[in-house]
Amino acid sequence: QNNAKVAVLGASGGIGQPLSLLLKNSPLVSKLSLYDIAHTPGVAADLSHIETKANVKGFLGAEQLQECLKGCNVVVIPAGVPRKPGMTRDDLFNTNASIVATLTTACAKHCPEAMICIISNPVNSTIPITSEVFKKHGVYNPKKIFGVTTLDIVRANTFVAELKGLDPAQVSVPVIGGHAGKTIIPLISQCTPKVDFPQDQLVKLTGRIQEAGTEVVQAKAGAGSATLSMAYAGARFVFSLLNAINGKEGVIECAFVRSDETESPYFSTPLLLGKNGIEKNLGIGKITPFEQKMVADAMSELKASIKKGEEFAKNFK
């Protein structure tokens, strides 16, 4: 049943190119549509020579977006501008909000049934924007709109594995909340295998997971933000979604979605994925007082970012 059509919107960018490469490399993808406002014919030509079955097509500019989206099962959106040193994800809002609203408007019109995976930051605001756009077009399905927070989970797994001398592939840390600074809440208490850290080390580890994006922004010294690890994480999420669509049981990923788990209208928790997107929200589960405090402390920032996205979408023409 591996005959999915996947579109990448923003396919020529720093995340878009390596993400497209990883998707082309997967037997789960049979058609790969690459869209951007520049360079997509070249990226598509390059990838089309790879000896895997996915058929690659490049689409350039707004007039080709409709054709790109037609018949898509999954749309991944890494389009937008990256952070520079000293910038927060929210500093990207003005540019990226318009880009996401424009692209998701096209999705609502041309592939309303597709799963929509948003990578463009600030995710805490771009997911509410996407939801409002789909509502405006009368095609909103909260089970199919995902803010990709997978990189937070990937980082948590890696950092825990490093500290404990484990194979990162065997480590699984749920990360809940949002996708910016203190809204990123790693649940180390729910890690499998079970791990223990003294409180001071736990605080430091949690802070590193929350600020890992900034670690990369600073290391790249003005040349962008996390692109390769983000492409890996984005691909991991898409593959999980495609496996679930194909009927695989027990596929669980965290993502930033419409939620009733907390007082925040959007919140990331582990989700059981199925043929139609979210099969079941698995919720927060049992957490420690340290983790409970992080959830409480994240609320005001989360709600403000969500409101900002919703307000933007209401005024977007």
For domain 150-305, the question of CATH label 3.90.110.10 is answered with yes
Residue 1 pLDDT: 62
Domain extent listing, the chain: 4-149, 150-305
The Cα–Cα gap between 223 and 86 comes to 13
pLDDT tens-digit profile of 34-51?
Answer: 999 999 999 999 999 999
Residue 81 phi, psi (nearest 5) = -105, 145
Domain 4-149: give its CATH architecture: 3-Layer(aba) Sandwich (3.40)
Residue 132 pLDDT: 98
Confidence of residue 287 (pLDDT cuts 50, 70, 90): very high
Residue-averaged pLDDT of the chain: 97
> Mean pLDDT across the stretch 290-308?
98
The CA-atom distances, in angstroms, between 147 and each of 61, 123, 150, 181, 241 are 24, 6, 9, 15, 13
39 flagged as catalytic? no
Closest-CA residue to 312 (of 114, 90, 79): 90
315 DSSP β-pair partners: none
pLDDT at 233 over 80: yes
Cα-only R_g, the chain: 18
- State the CB neighbour count (10 A cutoff) for residue 5: 20
- The catalytic residue among 39, 49, 137, 179 is 179
> Mean pLDDT across the stretch 79-85?
91
Q: Which residues are annotated as a binding site for NAD(+)?
A: 10-16, 36, 96, 119-121, 230
Q: Which residues are annotated as a binding site?
A: 10-16, 36, 83, 89, 96, 119-121, 155, 230
Q: What is the dihedral of CA 53, 54, 60, 63, to 10 degrees?
A: 120
pLDDT at 186 over 80: yes
The CA-atom distances, in angstroms, between 160 and each of 150, 189, 196, 201 are 15, 12, 10, 11
pLDDT at 249 over 90: yes
The Cα–Cα gap between 168 and 45 comes to 35
Residue 89 pLDDT: 86
Q: For the ranges 77-86, 223-232, 265-274, which has the lowest average pLDDT?
A: 77-86
Q: For the chain, what percent of residues have pLDDT higher than 90?
A: 95
Residue 63 pLDDT: 98
Q: Which residues are annotated as a binding site for substrate?
A: 83, 89, 121, 155
Give the CB-side neighbour count of residue 234, counting CA atoms within 13 A. 32
